[in-house]
Amino acid sequence: MKDVILDKIFIEKNSLKSKLAQRMIQIFPKEKVEILESEYDLSHKGQLSKEQFEWSKKNLLITEFKGHFFKRCPGATQKKTITCCNYYVLNLGSQCNMNCSYCYLQSYLNTPIMKAYSNIDKAISELREMMIEFPQLPYRVGTGEVIDSLSLDHLTLFSRELIPLFKEFPNWTLEFKTKSNRVDQFLDLGPCQNVLVSWSINPPHIIQSEEHDTACFEERIDAAKKCREKGFPLSFHIDPIIWHPEWKENYSYLVDEIIKNFSPEDIKVFSLGTLRFQPEQRFMMKERFGMNSYVNNSEMFLSESGKMRYDWHLRNEMFQFVFKRFKNHNPKWNIFLCMETPETWATSVNVSPMNVPGLKDFFRPLPKIKNELSEESIGD
Ligand code: SF4
Protein backbone atom coordinates (compact mmCIF):
# COMPACT_ATOMS: atom_id res chain seq x y z
CA MET A 1 0.00 0.00 0.00
CA LYS A 2 1.25 3.48 -0.86
CA ASP A 3 2.36 5.82 1.93
CA VAL A 4 -0.15 8.42 3.06
CA ILE A 5 0.45 11.59 1.06
CA LEU A 6 -0.40 14.72 3.00
CA ASP A 7 0.44 18.08 1.47
CA LYS A 8 -0.18 20.03 4.64
CA ILE A 9 -1.17 19.58 8.28
CA PHE A 10 -3.03 22.48 9.85
CA ILE A 11 -3.13 22.55 13.64
CA GLU A 12 -5.55 24.86 15.45
CA LYS A 13 -3.96 26.67 18.37
CA ASN A 14 -6.29 25.15 20.98
CA SER A 15 -5.28 21.65 19.82
CA LEU A 16 -1.57 22.38 19.89
CA LYS A 17 -0.89 20.75 23.26
CA SER A 18 -2.76 17.55 22.39
CA LYS A 19 -0.88 14.29 21.95
CA LEU A 20 -2.10 14.14 18.36
CA ALA A 21 -0.76 17.57 17.40
CA GLN A 22 2.56 16.94 19.08
CA ARG A 23 2.91 13.67 17.22
CA MET A 24 2.18 15.29 13.87
CA ILE A 25 4.79 17.96 14.59
CA GLN A 26 7.33 15.21 15.30
CA ILE A 27 6.48 13.13 12.23
CA PHE A 28 6.13 15.73 9.50
CA PRO A 29 8.74 18.21 8.26
CA LYS A 30 8.34 21.79 9.48
CA GLU A 31 7.31 23.19 6.11
CA LYS A 32 4.29 20.85 5.99
CA VAL A 33 2.89 21.93 9.37
CA GLU A 34 1.01 25.19 9.89
CA ILE A 35 -0.22 26.36 13.29
CA LEU A 36 -3.44 28.37 13.02
CA GLU A 37 -4.06 31.26 15.41
CA SER A 38 -7.83 30.96 14.95
CA GLU A 39 -10.23 28.19 13.92
CA TYR A 40 -9.99 26.93 10.34
CA ASP A 41 -12.83 28.28 8.21
CA LEU A 42 -14.95 25.19 7.62
CA SER A 43 -17.97 27.02 6.29
CA HIS A 44 -18.84 25.85 2.85
CA LYS A 45 -22.19 26.05 1.10
CA GLY A 46 -23.42 23.13 -1.00
CA GLN A 47 -21.44 20.23 -2.37
CA LEU A 48 -17.69 20.45 -2.84
CA SER A 49 -16.36 20.67 -6.37
CA LYS A 50 -14.16 17.87 -7.72
CA GLU A 51 -11.04 19.98 -7.09
CA GLN A 52 -12.10 20.90 -3.54
CA PHE A 53 -12.93 17.29 -2.72
CA GLU A 54 -9.57 16.08 -3.99
CA TRP A 55 -7.73 18.83 -2.07
CA SER A 56 -9.58 17.81 1.09
CA LYS A 57 -8.07 14.30 0.87
CA LYS A 58 -4.52 15.61 0.99
CA ASN A 59 -4.78 18.25 3.70
CA LEU A 60 -5.39 17.41 7.33
CA LEU A 61 -6.80 19.62 10.06
CA ILE A 62 -6.12 18.83 13.72
CA THR A 63 -9.08 20.26 15.58
CA GLU A 64 -11.32 19.71 18.60
CA PHE A 65 -14.69 18.04 18.04
CA LYS A 66 -17.43 20.07 19.71
CA GLY A 67 -20.47 17.73 19.66
CA HIS A 68 -21.22 14.20 20.91
CA PHE A 69 -18.75 11.70 19.57
CA PHE A 70 -21.01 8.72 19.89
CA LYS A 71 -24.10 8.11 17.78
CA ARG A 72 -26.27 5.38 16.36
CA CYS A 73 -25.55 3.78 12.99
CA PRO A 74 -27.64 5.30 10.15
CA GLY A 75 -29.34 1.92 9.72
CA ALA A 76 -31.16 2.45 13.01
CA THR A 77 -33.02 5.43 11.61
CA GLN A 78 -34.34 3.45 8.64
CA LYS A 79 -35.85 0.60 10.63
CA LYS A 80 -38.97 0.45 8.51
CA THR A 81 -37.01 -0.25 5.36
CA ILE A 82 -33.92 -2.12 6.49
CA THR A 83 -32.89 -4.70 9.09
CA CYS A 84 -30.69 -3.03 11.68
CA CYS A 85 -27.92 -4.64 13.73
CA ASN A 86 -27.59 -2.34 16.80
CA TYR A 87 -24.43 -0.63 15.71
CA TYR A 88 -23.03 2.59 17.13
CA VAL A 89 -20.46 4.86 15.58
CA LEU A 90 -17.67 6.85 17.12
CA ASN A 91 -16.27 9.42 14.74
CA LEU A 92 -12.69 10.46 15.43
CA GLY A 93 -12.33 12.48 12.25
CA SER A 94 -13.78 12.83 8.78
CA GLN A 95 -12.74 12.32 5.16
CA CYS A 96 -10.46 9.56 3.91
CA ASN A 97 -7.03 9.53 2.32
CA MET A 98 -8.01 6.61 0.06
CA ASN A 99 -10.14 6.97 -3.02
CA CYS A 100 -12.97 4.59 -3.89
CA SER A 101 -15.15 5.45 -6.86
CA TYR A 102 -18.39 4.64 -5.00
CA CYS A 103 -17.44 6.36 -1.72
CA TYR A 104 -20.50 7.97 -0.13
CA LEU A 105 -18.36 10.73 1.34
CA GLN A 106 -18.50 12.31 -2.12
CA SER A 107 -22.07 13.37 -1.51
CA TYR A 108 -22.02 13.50 2.27
CA LEU A 109 -19.06 15.71 3.13
CA ASN A 110 -19.17 19.42 2.67
CA THR A 111 -16.21 20.30 4.85
CA PRO A 112 -13.29 21.27 2.67
CA ILE A 113 -10.54 19.45 4.59
CA MET A 114 -9.83 16.07 6.20
CA LYS A 115 -10.11 16.25 10.00
CA ALA A 116 -8.63 14.30 12.92
CA TYR A 117 -9.92 15.19 16.37
CA SER A 118 -7.42 16.18 19.01
CA ASN A 119 -9.76 15.67 21.99
CA ILE A 120 -10.00 11.88 21.94
CA ASP A 121 -9.90 12.04 25.77
CA LYS A 122 -13.44 13.49 25.58
CA ALA A 123 -14.56 10.62 23.32
CA ILE A 124 -13.08 8.13 25.76
CA SER A 125 -14.86 9.69 28.75
CA GLU A 126 -18.20 9.80 26.85
CA LEU A 127 -17.81 6.12 26.04
CA ARG A 128 -16.68 5.17 29.53
CA GLU A 129 -19.76 6.86 31.02
CA MET A 130 -22.04 4.73 28.84
CA MET A 131 -20.07 1.56 29.42
CA ILE A 132 -20.36 2.03 33.17
CA GLU A 133 -24.13 2.49 32.78
CA PHE A 134 -24.62 -0.63 30.61
CA PRO A 135 -21.59 -2.87 31.24
CA GLN A 136 -23.49 -6.12 30.55
CA LEU A 137 -25.10 -5.22 27.24
CA PRO A 138 -23.48 -6.29 23.96
CA TYR A 139 -23.14 -2.91 22.29
CA ARG A 140 -21.03 -2.73 19.16
CA VAL A 141 -19.11 0.40 18.34
CA GLY A 142 -17.38 1.15 15.05
CA THR A 143 -14.97 3.96 14.22
CA GLY A 144 -15.09 3.69 10.43
CA GLU A 145 -18.15 5.67 9.40
CA VAL A 146 -16.87 8.96 7.95
CA ILE A 147 -13.19 8.09 8.08
CA ASP A 148 -11.41 4.77 7.61
CA SER A 149 -10.64 3.30 11.06
CA LEU A 150 -7.01 2.44 10.38
CA SER A 151 -5.62 4.11 7.27
CA LEU A 152 -4.24 7.02 9.34
CA ASP A 153 -3.96 5.13 12.60
CA HIS A 154 -0.18 4.67 12.36
CA LEU A 155 -0.09 8.49 12.57
CA THR A 156 -2.90 9.17 15.07
CA LEU A 157 -2.51 6.02 17.23
CA PHE A 158 -6.18 6.29 18.26
CA SER A 159 -6.36 2.48 18.38
CA ARG A 160 -3.89 2.49 21.26
CA GLU A 161 -6.25 4.68 23.31
CA LEU A 162 -9.39 2.70 22.50
CA ILE A 163 -8.23 -0.89 22.88
CA PRO A 164 -7.32 -0.63 26.60
CA LEU A 165 -10.75 0.92 27.31
CA PHE A 166 -12.61 -1.92 25.59
CA LYS A 167 -10.48 -4.48 27.43
CA GLU A 168 -12.07 -3.18 30.64
CA PHE A 169 -15.60 -3.80 29.27
CA PRO A 170 -15.55 -7.22 27.60
CA ASN A 171 -19.26 -7.25 26.73
CA TRP A 172 -18.83 -4.24 24.47
CA THR A 173 -17.25 -4.72 21.06
CA LEU A 174 -15.07 -2.28 19.19
CA GLU A 175 -14.85 -2.67 15.44
CA PHE A 176 -12.10 -1.18 13.30
CA LYS A 177 -13.27 -1.15 9.70
CA THR A 178 -10.67 -0.62 7.03
CA LYS A 179 -9.45 -1.03 3.48
CA SER A 180 -5.86 -0.49 4.58
CA ASN A 181 -3.30 -2.93 5.97
CA ARG A 182 -2.18 -0.67 8.85
CA VAL A 183 -2.36 -2.90 11.90
CA ASP A 184 1.23 -3.08 13.19
CA GLN A 185 0.75 -0.09 15.51
CA PHE A 186 -1.63 -1.96 17.86
CA LEU A 187 -0.78 -5.64 17.51
CA ASP A 188 1.22 -5.70 20.75
CA LEU A 189 -2.00 -4.85 22.66
CA GLY A 190 -3.55 -8.24 21.79
CA PRO A 191 -5.00 -10.65 22.53
CA CYS A 192 -8.30 -8.86 22.79
CA GLN A 193 -11.45 -10.85 22.09
CA ASN A 194 -13.78 -7.84 21.94
CA VAL A 195 -11.80 -5.77 19.43
CA LEU A 196 -12.83 -6.86 15.99
CA VAL A 197 -10.64 -5.91 13.06
CA SER A 198 -12.64 -5.97 9.90
CA TRP A 199 -11.93 -5.53 6.25
CA SER A 200 -14.17 -4.39 3.55
CA ILE A 201 -13.00 -6.59 0.71
CA ASN A 202 -13.55 -7.06 -2.99
CA PRO A 203 -11.91 -9.22 -5.67
CA PRO A 204 -8.50 -7.96 -6.90
CA HIS A 205 -10.01 -6.79 -10.20
CA ILE A 206 -12.53 -4.53 -8.42
CA ILE A 207 -9.94 -3.24 -5.95
CA GLN A 208 -7.77 -2.27 -8.87
CA SER A 209 -10.48 -0.59 -10.87
CA GLU A 210 -12.61 1.01 -8.11
CA GLU A 211 -10.74 1.19 -4.79
CA HIS A 212 -7.80 3.46 -5.56
CA ASP A 213 -4.97 3.99 -3.03
CA THR A 214 -6.26 1.18 -0.80
CA ALA A 215 -4.35 -1.93 0.25
CA CYS A 216 -4.44 -4.63 -2.43
CA PHE A 217 -6.27 -7.93 -1.87
CA GLU A 218 -3.21 -9.85 -0.65
CA GLU A 219 -2.20 -7.04 1.73
CA ARG A 220 -5.65 -7.08 3.35
CA ILE A 221 -5.54 -10.89 3.72
CA ASP A 222 -2.02 -10.72 5.20
CA ALA A 223 -2.99 -7.99 7.66
CA ALA A 224 -6.00 -10.07 8.76
CA LYS A 225 -3.74 -13.07 9.35
CA LYS A 226 -1.40 -10.94 11.49
CA CYS A 227 -4.36 -9.83 13.61
CA ARG A 228 -5.54 -13.42 14.00
CA GLU A 229 -2.08 -14.45 15.17
CA LYS A 230 -2.11 -11.75 17.86
CA GLY A 231 -5.55 -12.73 19.16
CA PHE A 232 -7.89 -10.20 17.54
CA PRO A 233 -11.14 -11.57 16.11
CA LEU A 234 -11.76 -10.78 12.46
CA SER A 235 -14.63 -9.85 10.27
CA PHE A 236 -15.01 -9.31 6.53
CA HIS A 237 -17.51 -7.18 4.70
CA ILE A 238 -17.90 -8.16 1.07
CA ASP A 239 -19.34 -4.79 0.36
CA PRO A 240 -20.12 -3.32 -2.05
CA ILE A 241 -20.52 -6.27 -4.37
CA ILE A 242 -20.16 -4.67 -7.79
CA TRP A 243 -21.58 -6.06 -10.99
CA HIS A 244 -19.14 -6.52 -13.88
CA PRO A 245 -19.08 -9.05 -16.71
CA GLU A 246 -16.86 -11.54 -14.83
CA TRP A 247 -18.49 -11.03 -11.41
CA LYS A 248 -19.20 -14.70 -10.80
CA GLU A 249 -15.60 -15.79 -11.45
CA ASN A 250 -14.14 -12.93 -9.46
CA TYR A 251 -16.40 -13.26 -6.41
CA SER A 252 -15.82 -17.05 -6.49
CA TYR A 253 -12.08 -16.35 -6.33
CA LEU A 254 -12.62 -14.02 -3.36
CA VAL A 255 -14.72 -16.54 -1.42
CA ASP A 256 -12.29 -19.37 -2.19
CA GLU A 257 -9.28 -17.32 -1.03
CA ILE A 258 -11.03 -16.51 2.23
CA ILE A 259 -11.95 -20.16 2.72
CA LYS A 260 -8.33 -21.14 1.94
CA ASN A 261 -6.85 -18.71 4.47
CA PHE A 262 -9.42 -18.67 7.28
CA SER A 263 -11.90 -20.93 9.03
CA PRO A 264 -15.45 -20.02 10.16
CA GLU A 265 -14.07 -19.90 13.72
CA ASP A 266 -11.59 -17.16 12.72
CA ILE A 267 -14.23 -14.84 11.29
CA LYS A 268 -16.80 -13.63 13.76
CA VAL A 269 -19.09 -12.37 11.09
CA PHE A 270 -19.38 -11.68 7.40
CA SER A 271 -21.61 -9.09 5.91
CA LEU A 272 -22.64 -8.79 2.31
CA GLY A 273 -23.88 -5.63 0.66
CA THR A 274 -24.42 -4.69 -2.96
CA LEU A 275 -23.54 -1.34 -4.52
CA ARG A 276 -25.66 1.58 -3.34
CA PHE A 277 -25.25 5.32 -3.28
CA GLN A 278 -27.12 8.58 -2.95
CA PRO A 279 -28.52 9.84 -6.28
CA GLU A 280 -26.81 13.22 -5.82
CA GLN A 281 -23.43 11.49 -5.83
CA ARG A 282 -23.63 10.48 -9.48
CA PHE A 283 -22.31 13.69 -10.95
CA MET A 284 -19.21 13.79 -8.74
CA MET A 285 -18.47 10.10 -9.37
CA LYS A 286 -18.70 10.57 -13.15
CA GLU A 287 -16.52 13.66 -13.05
CA ARG A 288 -13.88 11.96 -10.93
CA PHE A 289 -13.79 8.42 -12.30
CA GLY A 290 -15.32 8.56 -15.80
CA MET A 291 -17.50 6.05 -17.58
CA ASN A 292 -14.96 3.21 -17.43
CA SER A 293 -15.77 2.77 -13.77
CA TYR A 294 -18.16 -0.15 -13.20
CA VAL A 295 -19.94 2.02 -10.68
CA ASN A 296 -20.70 4.68 -13.25
CA ASN A 297 -21.68 2.44 -16.10
CA SER A 298 -24.08 0.16 -14.25
CA GLU A 299 -27.85 0.39 -14.36
CA MET A 300 -29.17 1.54 -10.98
CA PHE A 301 -32.67 2.20 -9.68
CA LEU A 302 -33.99 4.45 -6.96
CA SER A 303 -34.94 2.29 -3.96
CA GLU A 304 -37.48 2.86 -1.20
CA SER A 305 -34.70 4.05 1.11
CA GLY A 306 -33.82 6.83 -1.37
CA LYS A 307 -30.57 5.24 -2.52
CA MET A 308 -29.64 4.01 -5.97
CA ARG A 309 -29.38 0.22 -6.02
CA TYR A 310 -29.25 -2.61 -8.53
CA ASP A 311 -32.48 -4.17 -9.58
CA TRP A 312 -33.91 -6.40 -6.84
CA HIS A 313 -33.43 -9.61 -8.88
CA LEU A 314 -29.77 -8.89 -9.50
CA ARG A 315 -29.21 -8.10 -5.81
CA ASN A 316 -30.82 -11.41 -4.88
CA GLU A 317 -28.77 -13.29 -7.42
CA MET A 318 -25.53 -11.79 -6.13
CA PHE A 319 -26.36 -12.40 -2.47
CA GLN A 320 -27.41 -15.97 -3.13
CA PHE A 321 -24.33 -16.67 -5.20
CA VAL A 322 -21.85 -15.53 -2.52
CA PHE A 323 -23.92 -16.87 0.39
CA LYS A 324 -24.22 -20.34 -1.15
CA ARG A 325 -20.54 -20.55 -2.03
CA PHE A 326 -19.69 -20.05 1.63
CA LYS A 327 -22.44 -22.27 3.01
CA ASN A 328 -21.70 -25.10 0.57
CA HIS A 329 -18.19 -25.12 1.92
CA ASN A 330 -19.26 -25.02 5.55
CA PRO A 331 -22.69 -24.09 7.01
CA LYS A 332 -20.88 -22.56 9.99
CA TRP A 333 -19.92 -19.36 8.10
CA ASN A 334 -21.87 -16.54 9.79
CA ILE A 335 -23.15 -14.22 7.08
CA PHE A 336 -25.54 -11.29 7.22
CA LEU A 337 -26.82 -8.78 4.73
CA CYS A 338 -25.91 -5.19 5.46
CA MET A 339 -28.53 -2.46 5.00
CA GLU A 340 -31.05 -4.75 3.35
CA THR A 341 -34.79 -5.08 3.66
CA PRO A 342 -36.39 -7.99 5.57
CA GLU A 343 -37.79 -9.16 2.18
CA THR A 344 -34.31 -9.45 0.71
CA TRP A 345 -33.17 -11.40 3.75
CA ALA A 346 -36.05 -13.80 3.29
CA THR A 347 -35.72 -14.27 -0.47
CA SER A 348 -31.94 -14.14 -0.87
CA VAL A 349 -30.73 -16.21 2.00
CA ASN A 350 -33.99 -17.69 3.19
CA VAL A 351 -33.53 -16.75 6.85
CA SER A 352 -34.34 -14.05 9.33
CA PRO A 353 -31.34 -12.77 11.30
CA MET A 354 -33.28 -13.45 14.52
CA ASN A 355 -33.19 -17.18 13.75
CA VAL A 356 -29.45 -17.47 13.28
CA PRO A 357 -27.70 -18.29 16.58
CA GLY A 358 -24.46 -16.38 15.85
CA LEU A 359 -26.34 -13.30 14.62
CA LYS A 360 -29.29 -13.08 17.01
CA ASP A 361 -27.50 -10.83 19.47
CA PHE A 362 -26.60 -8.32 16.78
CA PHE A 363 -30.25 -7.74 15.92
CA ARG A 364 -31.77 -7.89 19.39
CA PRO A 365 -33.22 -4.45 20.27
CA LEU A 366 -31.17 -2.83 23.07
CA PRO A 367 -32.02 0.12 25.33
CA LYS A 368 -31.47 3.54 23.82
CA ILE A 369 -28.30 5.13 25.02
CA LYS A 370 -28.26 8.52 26.73
CA ASN A 371 -27.36 11.42 24.41
CA GLU A 372 -27.94 9.17 21.45
CA LEU A 373 -28.25 11.19 18.31
CA SER A 374 -30.68 10.04 15.69
CA GLU A 375 -29.18 11.37 12.52
CA GLU A 376 -30.68 11.11 9.09
CA SER A 377 -29.38 8.30 6.98
CA ILE A 378 -25.99 9.18 5.65
CA GLY A 379 -23.77 6.26 5.10
CA ASP A 380 -23.64 2.72 3.97
S1 SF4 B 1 -11.93 3.50 2.04
FE2 SF4 B 1 -14.05 3.94 2.60
S3 SF4 B 1 -14.05 6.07 3.27
FE4 SF4 B 1 -12.13 5.71 2.14
S5 SF4 B 1 -12.56 6.33 0.04
FE6 SF4 B 1 -12.96 4.12 0.19
S7 SF4 B 1 -15.15 3.99 0.66
FE8 SF4 B 1 -14.51 6.09 1.10
- Expressed in angstroms and rounded, the spacing between residue 199 Cα and the centre of ligand 1 is 12
Q: Is the minimum distance from the CB of 339 to ligand 1 under 6 angstroms?
A: no
Whether the CB-CB separation of 70 and 130 falls below 8 Å is answered with yes
Judge if the beta carbon of residue 234 lies within 6 A of ligand 1.
Answer: no
Sign of the C-alpha dihedral computed for residues 95, 198, 124 and 25 taken in this order? negative
Q: What is the pLDDT of residue 374?
A: 39
Ligand 1 contact, 109 CB (< 6 A): no
Q: Which of 267, 272, 248 shows the shortest CA–CA distance to 323?
A: 272
Show the beta-strand stretches assigned E in the chain: 8-12, 33-36, 59-63, 70-72, 87-90, 93-94, 99-100, 114-117, 140-142, 173-178, 195-200, 211-212, 234-241, 267-274, 276-277, 301-302, 308-309, 335-337
Residue 306 has pLDDT above 50, yes or no: yes
Residue identifier of the C-alpha nearest atom 7 of ligand 1: 103
pLDDT at 373 exceeding the cut of 60: no
Range from 254-268, 302-316, 325-339 carrying the lowest mean pLDDT: 325-339
What are the C-alpha distances in Å from 41 to residues 10, 63, 325?
11, 12, 50
Provide the Cα torsion 371, 375, 379, 380; round to 10°. 80
Percent pLDDT > 90 in the chain is 73
> Count of CB atoms within 10 A of residue 326's CB?
21
**Per residue in 333-363, pLDDT tens?**
988 876 666 666 666 666 655 555 555 555 5
Ligand 1 atom closest to Cα of 211?
6
Q: Which atom of ligand 1 is nearest to the CA of 97?
A: 4
pTM above 0.85, yes or no: yes
Q: How much is the average pLDDT of 9-36? A: 97
CA of 283 to the centre of ligand 1 (A): 18
Distance 103 CA to ligand 1 centre (A): 5
Task: Give the residues across from 211 on adjacent strands.
Answer: 100
Is there an atom of ligand 1 within 6 Å of 347 CB?
Answer: no
Q: Residue 199's beta-bridge partner residues?
A: 178, 236
Give the nearest ligand 1 atom to 105 CA: 8
- For the chain, what is the mean pLDDT? 88
Q: How far apart are CA 380 and CA 377, in angstroms?
A: 9
CATH number, domain 69-92+119-363: 3.80.30.30
* Ligand 1 pocket check for 103: Cβ under 6 Å: yes
Atom of ligand 1 nearest to the CA of 147: 3
